[in-house]
Structure 1
Amino acid sequence: MAAPPPKVIFLDAAGTLFQVRGSVGQIYAQVATTYGIAISAAELDRAFRQSFCTAPAMAVTSAAGEYQWWHALVRDCFKHLLDHCNHPAIGDFLSSPVFNEYFAELFALFATADPWELLPGVISALCQWRSHDIKLGICSNFDRRLHPLLDALNLTPHFDSVTISGTLGVAKPDPRIFGHAAAQHGYELPNPQLWHIGDHYGEDYQGATAAGMTGLWLSPGQTLDQVYAAAIQGLSPATPPD
C-alpha cells in the first residue's frame, strides 16, 4: 500500500546523508601515526566495529558526556588491539597523556568536513522535496558536533529542524526522540504523514514505525529518491537484514 504523502520527512544523518570518507580505521590510523603509533587501518576498523556495537547508547545530555562517551569508545578500540594483537606500544600509549591529545585531535576532526563525504543523490533529493513544500528535519543519534558538521557540508539550509540524542538523553529507537522531532514541527504521534528515512533497520525503520511515523529503510545501494519513489508508489520495501 502506498504511503500517505509526507508533510515532514525526517532523516538520519551519518549513513543516510553522509558517510565516512574511506573508513573510520583509516582516519584513526592516519592520525595515530602523527603520535608515533603505527597500526593498520584494517585492524582499527575491526576494533572499532566491535567497540561501537557493544557500547551503550549515547543517551547523554551534555557536551562533556558526549566527549567522555567517545573517549571511552576510542580507548576501548585500542585496548582491544592491545589484548588481541601484537602491539605492545599501545599499552604505553593508553597510559600516557599523549592518548588524550590524540583523542582530542580525532574528536575535533570529525566535526569538520574532511573525514566525510555526501552520499550520492542527497542534495537532489532534498531540493526536490523542498520544491514540493515538504518540510525537512534530521532525527539522529549523532552528538553536538552534528551542527558544525552540517554547516561544513553545506546541509544546514536544507533543514527546518535538527533533533539529536545528545541533547535529549534518549536515542533511537526510543519513541521519545521521534516524538520530540515531531513536536518541533507542531505535530504529535502517531501521524503517518511524518516520514523518517534512515540506513539502520532497527533504529530508523522499526523505531520510527513503532513510534507512529511512516518508517522507511535506506538499504545498501539505495538513494533517497529511490526510497521516496518506492514509498509513494506502494512498492514492496527492501528485504530487511538477517
Structure 2
Amino acid sequence: MRGPVRWVLWDVKDTLLKVRRSVGEQYCSEASRLGLELPPSQVEAAFKQAYRRQSKLYPNYGTAQGLGGHRWWVAVVKDTFSQCGVKDGATLEKLSYNLYHNFKNAENWEVFPDSERTLRSCTDMGLKLGVVSNFDNRLEGILRACGLLSHFSFLVTSEGAKVAKPDAAIFHQALQRCGDPASSVAHVGDHYVNDYLTARSLGLLGLLLDREGSTLHLDDVPARHRLSSLDELPALLQKRAEGG
C-alpha cells in the first residue's frame, strides 16, 4: 500500500508558468529593437520549422553531441530569422544573443495564479519540492526571476541530466536527490506521456494537470489523478496522508 507523500516533483513550463506572448511576437519585438519589422505569423512559422529541425538533428539541446543549450538556441534563432530573409551575420548574432539572455527575464514568463500559493501550501504541509523539467540550464535563473526558486530543494533539467522525459533516467536522478522511495513521491505535470505515464510507470504518484479539460477522453487517467487547477493539490495530498 502506498505510504504518505514526502516529496512533490514538478514540471515547470505550462505547469507552473508559461511563455507570456507567442514566440513570434517575442522574437519580432526583439527584432524591432534592431530596426527589423517582420510579421509575427511568419516568424512563428519559421521558428516552428527551425525548432523541429534542430530537435531532430540534436535532441535535448544536443547534449549527446557536446552542443549544449546556448549553442542549440543560437542555431534555432539564426535559422528562424534566416528563413525570414535576415542574412546579415552580425544582426543574426545580436538577435540570438539577446533572445537567449532575455528569455531568462521575468517579463517573458507568466506565472499561473495558482502556482505560488500551491507551492507555499505544500511547503506548509511539510512536503519537500523538486523540479524535473525538459528545460535548458537557464531554468534556475528563470525561476529565481519569477520568485519561485526558493520553494525547491533541487532542480533536474534535461540539459543538466543529459536525458529528457519521457526517459525514466531523468526521474531516477530526481529520486536519488529525494532519497525516498518512489512510492513516497508525487509528480505533477501537464504532459500525458512525459509526466503522467512515465511517473506512474516508475511507481510515483503521477498527477496530470489539465487546465483546459483536454485529456478527458483518456480513459486510463482516473479522476483522482487529474487536476484542473493546482489549487486542488493540497487537499488531494492531505486526503492521501489521512488514508483517504
Q: What TM-score do the two structures reach when normalised by structure 2? A: 0.80
Aligned pairs for 1:35-74 within 5 A:
35-53=34-52, 55=55, 56-58=59-61, 60=63, 65-74=68-77
Amino acid at match of 1:223: S
Question: How far apart in 2 are the matches of 1:47 and 1:220?
Answer: 28
Higher helix share: 2
- The one of 153, 166, 170 aligned to 1:160: 153
Partners of 1:137 and 1:160 within 8 A in 2: yes
Bigger mean CA deviation after superposition, 54-63 or 20-29: 54-63
Q: For residues 18-72 of structure 1, what are the alpha-carbon distances to aligned partners after superposition, in whole Å with 9 as ceiling and x for unaligned?
A: 1111222111110011223222222323333344345123362899611111122
- Give the corresponding residue for 1:14: 13
SS at structure 2 position matched to 1:139? strand
Structure number with the bigger relative contact order (C-alpha 8 A, sep ≥ 6) is 1
Long gaps (5+) in structure 2 = 213-227
Partners of 2:137 and 2:159 within 8 A in 1: yes
- Give the corresponding residue for 1:226: 232
Residues 1:178 and 2:159 aligned together: no
CA 1:72–1:232 in 2, change beyond 3 Å: closer, same or farther?
farther
- Give the corresponding residue for 2:220: none
What is the RMSD of the two structures over their aligned residues, measured on CA atoms?
A: 2.6
Partners of 1:59 and 1:171 within 8 A in 2: no
Question: How far apart in 1 are the matches of 2:231 and 2:192?
Answer: 18
Partners of 2:19 and 2:108 within 8 A in 1: yes
- Give the corresponding residue for 1:216: 207
- Give the corresponding residue for 1:239: none
SS at structure 1 position matched to 2:106? coil
Aligned pairs for 1:76-87 within 5 A:
76-79=79-82, 82=83, 87=84
- Give the corresponding residue for 1:104: 97
Equivalent pairs counted in the alignment come to 221
Shift of 1:147: 1.1
Partners of 2:118 and 2:233 within 8 A in 1: no
- Give the corresponding residue for 2:187: 196
Question: How far apart in 2 are the matches of 1:59 and 1:186?
Answer: 29
Long gaps (5+) in structure 1 = 235-242
Partners of 2:120 and 2:151 within 8 A in 1: yes
Partners of 1:135 and 1:160 within 8 A in 2: yes
Residues 1:126 and 2:119 aligned together: yes
Residues 1:142 and 2:135 aligned together: yes
Question: How far apart in 2 are the matches of 1:59 and 1:184?
Answer: 24
SS at structure 1 position matched to 2:188? strand
CA 1:108–1:230 in 2, change beyond 3 Å: closer, same or farther?
same
Q: What TM-score do the two structures reach when normalised by structure 1? A: 0.81
Shift of 1:141: 1.2
Q: For residues 133-186 of structure 1, what are the alpha-carbon distances to aligned partners after superposition, in whole Å with 9 as ceiling and x for unaligned?
A: 111111111111111111111112111111111112111111111011111111
SS at structure 1 position matched to 2:126? coil
